[in-house]
């Protein structure tokens, strides 16, 4: 009887979608919510959370983020800008991903809170690659990694 109940639980768990990989759109939204929240708290998500960052980006991008080349990069790579609107954190939307095999592109839109005097609406394209069964950020707005 216990075996039957365990089997039913495992089947229900897997069938409900919990056993499936997170879609690129949700991965993008989750990443940017975390990233912008850290920036709003005056943290450096790249330097302060290297272990977590390396779980969220491709091996190629991770290598560059922790290189001399990135130290000399004159903008925030993930925002493709030097500044941002703090209210974007609560206005992140993602269009359905365009996926071809192990590569996916997500169009993200950051909408500021009504009445914000910040930077307005910003749209970006985030390219993902699938590594070890998970979607990882590989580039932002088709920016090449400068070496």
Domain spans of the chain?
A: 21-140
For the chain, the DSSP string reads -HHHHHHHHHHHHHHTTTTSPPPHHHHHHHHHHHHHHHHHTT--HHHHTHHHHHHHB-HHHHHHHTSHHHHT--SBTTTTBS---GGGGG-EEEPPPEEETTEEEEEEEE-PPTT--S---EEEEEEEEEETTEEEEEEETTPPPP-
Range ranked top by mean pLDDT from 3-7, 84-88, 110-114, 125-129? 125-129
CATH number for the segment(s) 21-140: 3.10.450.50
Residue 24, both tokens = 């690129």
Global pTM exceeds 0.85: no
Instruction: Encode pLDDT of 41-86 as tens digits.
Output: 999 999 999 999 999 999 999 999 999 988 888 889 999 888 899 9
% of the chain beyond a pLDDT of 70: 83
């Amino acid at each position: 009887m216990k075996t039957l109940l365990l089997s039913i639980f495992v089947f229900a768990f897997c069938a409900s979608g919990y056993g499936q990989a997170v879609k690129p759109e949700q991965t993008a939204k989750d990443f940017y919510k975390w990233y912008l929240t850290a920036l709003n708290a005056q943290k450096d998500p790249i330097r302060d959370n290297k272990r977590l960052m390396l779980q969220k980006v491709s091996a190629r991008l991770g290598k560059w983020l922790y290189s001399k080349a990135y130290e000399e990069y004159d903008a925030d790579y993930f925002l493709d800008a030097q500044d941002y609107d703090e209210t974007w954190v609560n206005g992140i939307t993602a269009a359905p991903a365009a996926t071809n095999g192990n590569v996916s592109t997500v169009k993200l839109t950051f909408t500021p809170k009504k009445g914000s005097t910040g930077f307005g609406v910003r749209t970006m394209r985030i390219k993902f690659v699938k590594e070890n069964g998970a979607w990882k950020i590989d580039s932002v707005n088709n920016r090449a990694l400068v070496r």
